[in-house]
Structure 1
């Protein structure tokens, strides 16, 4: 069968009580039926399955809490992985992911697993992000700044018995329409990854723009009392004027010192001030060199890290394509030895390399792809965080370099002046000249500081203009993409409505609106479905409507590869709310008919206490028929 991306298929479910397996069943593509008497544990198994896939289950049965861990062997776009989570009352449990099947996972060492938290951070992936990467799903950030998770997707993939049947989504206490709408748009394929990337970039730019504007406001506040043009030419001219004034003063000081030296009393002259100034110059020169060395080292690290990040991004793309390339190309046959060009004999069979005679192991290749994808994703996220910190440190060091250079320059000028004229510690008549020279020196330092601020002002003003231009481009681009996605969303809604209408019209003649269904309307944000403008029906008809919609959503995704629906539906409501047996069995058969007609990989898992006779065979059923004496969970 054709495999669309994304496709999530459950291959095996293992539930443990301590180290003992209390449930271990294999699943298959297409229809999977868990059957048994009412209250025999079917819903408990489905709840644990959804928990294992990443759902956050808030209410556990007493039998579920007797278990302590679930392992779910899945195929994620054809790649096999095992997901493992602890079963506990506390919510938002982490997940362990192993690249391979359950048997290999249970014998693997702890270092071969990867643990992911429920919620990610800047430097650490959540398990939803890891699974999304393996399913080639974009990370969707909603307007509430929260990222969509596997839990949110499973709310519309899994229909449980405790949620209101008139709603599309599984019940959640704090349920934002914005989040539901984002889930619907994503699954319909109406959330372009470029829009997400642009929105992330827009948020970063807006944050940077706020920081730049704040810094500019601070600089303007410092320079607010200056009654002239704030530019580098003014600073250079003013500094030049002050240096001329200082040189003139130093000339006066030099003449006065010389006069005292020739005509004054025989006094002892002190070189203490020169020594102090020389020490200051040495210290500041060492500081300048140290800062420059730090900058050079960080820039080298940043360049090396940028190359590493680029190689990780290339590697991620290659890993995503690796499975497809392997499937398309298959094995490579050599007619001649690539070393000596002798004719090769084919005696290794179809399951081993005819060149080196090693057996093929496609599963092991897929296991390696899963593990490598997870590892590279973690490395990439951590490297980006470190790179951002390096850039921040480089900028801080550049600012520090400018300050230290100014201090060193001022100290050097002061030392030069002192070396030209030996200063007497005893001559009070030079005090006035020295005070004036000190004032001019401080004014020079003030102008140098203002020059630094003016340079920073120009740099930040240019950056603010760049940010504004990029924000404008990104906003225009997203507006165009959003317009095109409205068309995509309209197409997806039409396909879902068509498929839902097929199920409703094939229902037993119990609800006239279903038999004459024309207009199927639904809203993910509003969490409602209506038929011909009506949404009030009997409880059993609402069950049919909800399951028809979820099934219609799934099969629309098998018709159209642009859907980002994982082609999985888990239904625990096919006979809820007083459903009569014949009506439930009719719907079961409709699911099987639609599944058999599909040309694309998909999976439906549902539970029933009244299975249709023609479906009660291993082609569709999972495990044995459970009862109160022989429960689904062997606890």
Structure 2
């Protein structure tokens, strides 16, 4: 699938009032108006409507409540809706069909999706990636690659410094910029990005593991050599033997006499031990019952998951069949076998409903996403059940051990006679208690020793993981080098060709031998010089030429994942003379006309080239301060 995106209509509302409602088209779309007339607000609404995270709105734009976008994708027509707010990470509602149907549909007809990936289900970025034809982000690391991050490179705005390619934002990382740039140029998916993020996090965890290990060793240093596991286990075994000998002595003394008070006390102890046994037995019974229920649920859910996987497979087979055969004409009703009257072209052969271009693809995407979401949620719930089952099985083992101890105590009491000398038993019991306290201390020391061993192993594992990740990153980079060279060379060549067509009387680039760029470091350079342009307007031309070069390169090379779409809101920014702006506008139109592949370029201008003013390329009317873009 070739990645593609096209805006077909944008609607901005405040309650029942329409603030903006205009259709867009393939190719070049020009938003024209004087400075301060609201052109940038329209660009911001497009950015926000597609999934950008916009929090600061111009005063006129802040009056809006909802932004609707009808977009065409390879998977069909979608309608997107977002509520305008200063809150970050706003969710999105998606209707799988044209806007006219979406506006008439009930709330249940829309899918409400969060900004960030939830534990169960999809984020709106995941759905849009699938519809547009972008690789889906699978791992937790890749969840950082959202529509917002993609749009940061596709939306050339006015507020970002002209030296930077990506729309400016806080907490920006070079790994994210590199991943987005390489993704759009078709260099790779998320493997390299995921491993770079994994390496960064693993190195941090390694530092923490080293600190934890040193802290535990410092605590253990007070015990000297007695912290070794073999020494501790030997000491525990010796004390266990002493404890058993003392208990045997207590058993012997209990046969020496039958003091009535001791007998009453023994009855009380026996009663308590019996209660403990009953509690342990009920706990075991409860856990066995819960485990039996869980095992049934796990087995039942496994069958449902198999059913969903089969349904998705059958759905894909049906979609392939439909793609191969097209719409089927029925002579007889498949339900009652009555003759079916011929239908008009473009209508369903059974129900006679009119078909809309892209609508069936949208419904297909919606059904498949619903099946995938059910599968994802079922697998997540199944994982929770299996984890719960494992926990309960472990608890059952502990409970059975406790019941065995309680059973042994009760059986021991049943075999014993009435207690004898209280003072001797008390002394022996005191010694048993002392040994128990020593055993508790040894057990804690043993636990500390085990923690040190575990910390040492974890530290070593993390160090090995760092070494492995570095090797895997190098391997991926080597594998991508050929594709990267091809894609970067094409963009560089296209950018040079565009810059060579800048007006010579205003150009300050000199002789251009090559154009280089770095997504990670966020710069474009001419002949290796990042600030080759001697003026701010020259930097604007350089930045816009690079963005346009990425778009035209995607129309030449099908491996590009850039969705054949670009938005410019700075055509004549930084005091550019109108002749230079006109030249770049004409360049955009000429470049667009060279390609038959579907694409869309949207740009705003206050200095429209004379021959473009009033043409079919202009979207809406000319906006002024008195008649702004938002009604």
Instruction: Establish whether residue 279 from structure 1 lines up as the match of residue 275 from structure 2.
Output: yes
Q: How do residues 125-524 of structure 1 correspond to structure 2 at under 5 angstroms?
A: 126-135=123-132, 136-139=134-137, 147-172=144-169, 175-195=172-192, 225=226, 229=230, 238=237, 246=244, 260=257, 271-298=267-294, 301=297, 325=320, 328-331=323-326, 333=328, 347-348=342-343, 350-352=345-347, 360=355, 363-372=358-367, 375=370, 386=381, 390=385, 393-394=388-389, 396-424=391-419, 428=423, 476-510=471-505, 516-524=511-519
Query: Contact (CA 8 Å) 2:66, 2:81: kept in 1 or not?
Result: yes
Matched, 1:4 2:5: no
Contact 1:141 1:196 (C-alpha < 8 Å) held by counterparts: no
Aligned equivalents of 1:428, 1:329: Cα separation in 2 = 95
Measured on the aligned residues, the alpha-carbon RMSD in Å equals: 5.0
More deviation, 600-609/428-437: 428-437
Q: Which runs of 5+ in 1 are unaligned?
A: none
Larger deviation, residues 204-213 vs 530-539: 204-213
Q: 1:91 to 1:470 in 2, by over 3 A?
A: closer
CA distance in 1, matches of 2:229, 2:170: 61
Aligned residues of 1:509 and 1:515 also touching (Cα < 8 A): no
Contact 1:402/1:452, CA 8 A, preserved across alignment: no
Distance 1:338 1:197, change over 3 A: farther
Q: Distance in 1 between matches of 2:539 and 2:445?
A: 73
Report what 1:64 is aligned to.
61
SS in 2 for 1:73: strand
Contact residue 134 and residue 373 of structure 1 kept, 8 A: no
CA contact (8 A) 2:331 2:341 kept: no
Q: Please report how far the alpha carbon of residue 506 of structure 1 lies from its aligned counterpart in structure 2 after TM superposition.
A: 2.6
Aligned equivalents of 1:457 and 1:171: distance in 2?
45
Decide which moves more: 329-338 or 114-123: 329-338
The answer (yes or no) to whether the contact 1:52–1:71 under 8 Å persists in 2 is yes
Query: 1:589-604 counterparts in 2 under 5 A?
Result: 589-604=586-601
**Shift in alpha-carbon separation, 1:470–1:392, aligned structure 2, 3 A:** farther
- Once the 2 structures are TM-superposed, how far is the Cα of residue 93 of structure 1 from its aligned partner? 3.6
Measure, in 1, the Cα distance between the counterparts of 2:280 and 2:488: 70
TM-score normalised according to structure 1 size? 0.78
Offset, 1:147:
1.3
How far 1:228 moved relative to its partner?
6.4
Task: Report if aligned partners of 1:410, 1:445 keep a CA contact under 8 Å in 2.
Answer: no
Deviations 1:518-565 (A, max 9, x none): 210122233322223442233333332222111101111122233222
* Cα gap change, 1:517 to 1:371, in 2 (>3 Å): same
CA distance in 2, matches of 1:83, 1:500: 33
Deviates more, 1:173-182 or 1:163-172: 173-182
Shift in Å, 1:109: 1.8
Aligned mate of 1:571, from 564, 568, 586:
568
Q: Which moved further from structure 2: 582-591 or 613-622?
A: 613-622
Match of 2:30 in 1: 33
- Larger mean Cα displacement after TM superposition, 36-45 or 412-421: 36-45
Equivalent residue pairs, number: 622
> What SS does structure 1 have at the residue aligned with 2:573?
coil
Distance 1:356 1:402, change over 3 A: same
Quote the Cα distance in structure 1 between the aligned partners of 2:454 and 2:613: 74
CA contact (8 A) 1:11 1:26 kept: yes
For 2:504, what is the secondary structure of its paired residue? coil
Deviates more, 1:102-111 or 1:203-212: 203-212
TM-score by length of 2: 0.79
Q: CA distance change for structure 1 residues 252 and 90 in 2, over 3 Å: closer, same or farther? A: closer
> Residues 543 and 193 of structure 1: is their aligned pair in 2 closer, same or farther, counting only changes over 3 Å?
closer
Q: Is the 8 A contact 2:347 2:355 kept in 1?
A: yes
Structure 2 runs not aligned, ≥5 long? none
- CA offset at residue 325 of structure 1? 3.6
Paired residues of 2:517 and 2:525 also in contact (CA < 8 A): yes
Match of 1:554 in 2: 551
- 1:282 and 1:8, CA in 2 relative to 1: closer, same or farther beyond 3 A? same
Q: What residue is the counterpart of 1:47 in the other structure?
A: 44
Q: Is the 8 A contact 2:11 2:67 kept in 1?
A: yes
The Cα shift of 1:376 comes to: 5.6
Change beyond 3 A, Cα 1:462–1:33: same
* Deviation (angstroms), 1:630: 4.4
Distance of 2:445 and 2:420 partners within structure 1: 33
Q: Is the 8 A contact 2:10 2:22 kept in 1?
A: yes
Local SS of the residue matching 2:144:
coil
